[in-house]
Structure formats: C-alpha cells, structure tokens
Amino acid sequence: MPLSPLHTLAIIAVCSAVTLFTRAFPFLFLSKGKTATKYSVYLAQALPPAVMAMLIVYCLRSTPVLASPHGIPEAAAVAAVILLHLWKRNNLLSILGGTVIYMVLLQGVFA
C-alpha cells in the first residue's frame, strides 16, 4: 500500500525532529558549565574504539576466505588502514588509503 504524500512528509518530519534532538541534546543540556560525569567521560573514551571494532566485524563478516581471492583485498585494505593510521594519525588519509587499495585490488588485480 503506497503512502500518501502527507503521510510521507509526516514520517520525514518526525525522523528529522528526532535526529535533530539527539544531535542537539548534549549541547543543550550537558554543557552548561557543568563538569562531565565519570560515566560520560568513560563513554567518550570507550565508544569510539567499540564502534570501530563493530564496523570492522560488520564489514568483514561475509568475506569469502575459502573461495578466491580468499580475503586478500580485505586483509590488504585493513593492513593499509592500520599502517597509515599508525604512521600519519590522520583518519581521512587512513580511510581513503584503505578504500583505494581495496578497490584497486578488487577491480584491477583480482577482477
């Protein structure tokens, strides 16, 4: 059953409002000259590595290690990201370098 244009706009408006609220919440309610709680400091330190680990598992979960190319492009890209990040400490360079290496290997070498 297709949605009416008004219903579609209402869904978009609600999703936009919720997204705006969740992004603005920390700035509106948690930064009024108050010091951060121990829990929020812990979350700020623990969540970025946890999210990155979860993304790595999500991206590599369906890598075919028993069939050609045996996960070589994925392993090379992950290694490139790690090495570039340890070398330059630049997130954008690490992501871009890993993506370029992965696409060159996948589209060129193992095509």
- Provide the pLDDT for residue 37: 82
Instruction: Classify residue 81 by burial, with Cβ atoms within 10 Å: 0-12, 13-18, 19+.
Output: buried
Q: Which two tokens stand for residue 92?
A: 């954008």
pLDDT tens digits, 29-85: 776 777 778 998 899 899 999 999 999 999 999 998 888 899 999 999 999 999 999
This prediction has a pTM of 0.65
Question: What is the domain partition of the chain in residue ranges?
Answer: 1-34, 36-109
Distance separating alpha carbons of residues 51 and 66, to the nearest angstrom: 28
Instruction: Return the closest-CA partner of residue 105 out of 63, 57, 66.
Output: 63
